[in-house]
Amino acid sequence: MKKLFCALPVLFSVLFASAQSEATLSIQQDGNGPTISRHIYGHFSEHLGRCIYDGFWVDPNLQVEKKDRIRMDVVEALKRIKIPNLRWPGGCFADEYHWRDGIGPREQRPKMVNTHWGGVTEDNSFGTHEFLELCSLLGCEPYISGNVGSGTVEEMSKWVEYLNFNGESPMSKIRKENGHAAPWNVHFWGVGNESWGCGGNMTAAYYADQYRRYATFAKNYPGTPLWKVACGASDANYQWTETCMKNIPLNQMWGLSLHYYTVPRNWRDKGSATAFDEQEYFTTLQKCLFMEELVTKHSAIMDHYDPDKKVALAVDEWGIWTNVEPGTNPGFLYQQNSLRDALVAASTLNIFNNHADRVRLANLAQTVNVLQSLILTQKEKMLLTPTYYVFDLFKVHQDAKRLPVMLNSPDYSIGKDKIAAVNASASIDSNNVIHVSLVNLDPHKSINVSTMISNLPWKTVSGQVLTSGKFTDINTFDAPMTVKTVAFNGAKKNGDRLQVSLPPESVVVLELKN
């Protein structure tokens, strides 16, 4: 049997396995459908390894274009994919970070030990002002994670005041003395991170009480309502979601988070980012697709308490997590990025798109040089990973109307295990341009997709494809363009149907115009 996906009101209907590589897709008009929030395409930058330091924030002597010490080739690459938001300073680091250590003259800022990630000494040269300048350069919304684990209610309250109050107050006075007269008007605010683990090892009930307390004193200043995100569950901890939804008033939170990482093997030996066989490739994709079940079941619990879907499910940490590259610091989480990882990213984004009624924020972990990075740097060199190209392809869905899809896919199987070979999502933008994103996970077979598009006129189709010769292919500093997007010519209009031939192990995004 093929795997059944049921993401209401979108149905992934899968029937019986077929030996033929044929799929059928139906795309429907839905005037009342949700908007695919651009914030689903958010990113995450923690004080971890070489993400901030040597990623965004570089040595003054490095011979690259910089604004202050912000690396501008990284900024320009992220602007091209329309990065909508950036989450900072963590992650686990957020709950040992005290924001007042990162403001004022840099030479006077106290140093600290990053106990979570490598035990390195932080000089705090990258703090609140530097992060918000980075967001300004990127043109994106800042998403700040507040310290609940080792911080205080007063500390968080004063950080919000420092960021957002436009009148006379102790915090706004200090902000002005530090060179920023106007407030930044930061909306997204995480109240703690992974409070079930590195953020305090709390029970769900205890955290819910703490959230209510911290959120009460994180004030909405004029013109800047806070979009507060409560710390939600890890993986399939549905009891955590149940407790938070039951105990936290809906009007106190904008969103509830979910964290899930695709780990190819297990947490002790996660597997290599570059050296893996087809069985491990298959298992990785199988685990990636578990996101569908997680989102569906957590959403169902939220629906019970919030039938109007006022509270967003914020998947603010997701991605593939492998062993670090040989010879690198194990606490720095530096891993390469293959075509397999691009397929993981595209499949996950399709899931989020199809659940756009509830999933309205997500953050890939992490942006530069850590985990499933979009960008890798090596001194003056910079490269774009296969995952970067997925976000470049999928940016067309940002703030477009989701179109419901029904997909009947053949299986991709190894032994007795099977997954749907094809996954998809679709949207229509404000110019009535339709975009369809298709992923073929089968590394051996091309799959022909016959698509019926109901009540949506179109005349022309064009597209781009991301694929390569092997699912282990990567971009390196010596060969940075091995895996990249190219024009796709495998789609055509045939009567009232769209016919697409998906290459093996590929991501295709089509544009249909009338």
pLDDT tens string 134-147: 999 999 999 999 99
- Mean pLDDT along residues 44-65: 97
pLDDT interval class at 317 (50, 70, 90):
very high
pLDDT at 1: 34
Grouping H, G, I as helix, E, B as strand and the rest as coil, residue 180 is coil
Dump pLDDT digits (tens) for 166-208.
Answer: 999 999 999 999 999 999 999 999 999 999 999 999 999 999 9
- Mean pLDDT along residues 196-222: 98
For the entire predicted model, the pTM comes to 0.94
Residue 320 has, within 13 A of its CA and on its CB side, a CA count of 37
Question: Could you please report the per-residue DSSP string of 127-172?
Answer: -HHHHHHHHHHHT-EEEEEE--SS--HHHHHHHHHHHH--SS-HHH
Name the DSSP letter for residue 21: -
What value, to the nearest 5°, has the Cα angle with vertex 445 and ends 444 and 451? 150
Does residue 487 or residue 496 have the better pLDDT?
487
- Mean pLDDT along residues 391-398: 98
CA distance 161 to 255: 21
Strands 401-403 and 422-428: antiparallel
What value, to the nearest 5°, has the Cα angle with vertex 14 and ends 10 and 17? 165
Grouping H, G, I as helix, E, B as strand and the rest as coil, residue 191 is strand
CA distance 381 to 233: 38
Q: Are 124 and 112 in contact (CB under 8 A)?
A: yes
φ, ψ dihedrals at 240, nearest 5°? -65, -45
pLDDT at 31: 78
- Mean pLDDT along residues 23-47: 94
| 8 to 5, 11, 172, 238, 445: CA distances (angstroms) | 9, 6, 46, 18, 30
Dump pLDDT digits (tens) for 399-450.
Answer: 999 999 999 999 999 999 999 999 999 999 999 999 999 999 999 999 999 9
CATH 3.20.20.80 residue spans of the chain: 37-398
* Selection from 143, 132, 144, 146 nearest residue 217 by Cα: 146
Domain spanning 22-30+404-513 has what CATH number? 2.60.40.1180
pLDDT interval class at 165 (50, 70, 90):
very high
pLDDT interval class at 303 (50, 70, 90):
very high
pLDDT interval class at 3 (50, 70, 90):
very low
pLDDT at 397 over 60: yes
pLDDT interval class at 13 (50, 70, 90):
very low
**Tokens 């994709």, located at residue:** 285
- Mean pLDDT along residues 261-272: 97
pLDDT at 488: 98
Does residue 455 or residue 338 have the better pLDDT?
338
φ, ψ dihedrals at 87, nearest 5°? -90, 140
% of the chain exceeding 90 in pLDDT: 94
* C-beta atoms surrounding 55 within 10 Å: 23
Q: Are 410 and 1 in contact (CB under 8 A)?
A: no
pLDDT at 38: 98
- Mean pLDDT along residues 375-388: 98
Q: Are 473 and 339 in contact (CB under 8 A)?
A: yes
pLDDT at 30: 79
Instruction: Show which residues are catalytic.
Output: 194, 317
pLDDT at 238 over 80: yes
pLDDT interval class at 365 (50, 70, 90):
very high
pLDDT at 16: 35
CATH 2.60.40.1180 residue spans of the chain: 22-30+404-513
CA distance 343 to 355: 19
Structure tokens at 91: 């992650």
Which amino acid, one-letter code, is at 441?
A: L
Which amino acid, one-letter code, is at 74?
A: V
pLDDT at 12 over 60: no
Mapping DSSP onto H, E and C, the string for 337-352 reads CEHHHHHHHHHHHHHH
pLDDT interval class at 348 (50, 70, 90):
very high
pLDDT at 6: 39
pLDDT at 8 over 50: no
pLDDT at 15: 34
Q: How far is CA 315 from the centre of its chain?
A: 7
Grouping H, G, I as helix, E, B as strand and the rest as coil, residue 82 is coil
Sheet order of strands, 22-27 included: 405-408, 22-27, 447-453, 497-502, 491-494
Indicate the CATH number of 37-398 among 3.30.450.40, 3.20.20.80, 3.90.1150.10, 3.40.50.720: 3.20.20.80
Structure tokens at 307: 């039938």
pLDDT interval class at 29 (50, 70, 90):
confident
CA distance 112 to 100: 12
Q: How many helices (H) and strands (E) does the chain have?
A: 10, 29
φ, ψ dihedrals at 358, nearest 5°? -120, -40
Average pLDDT, the chain: 95
Q: Are 435 and 427 in contact (CB under 8 A)?
A: yes
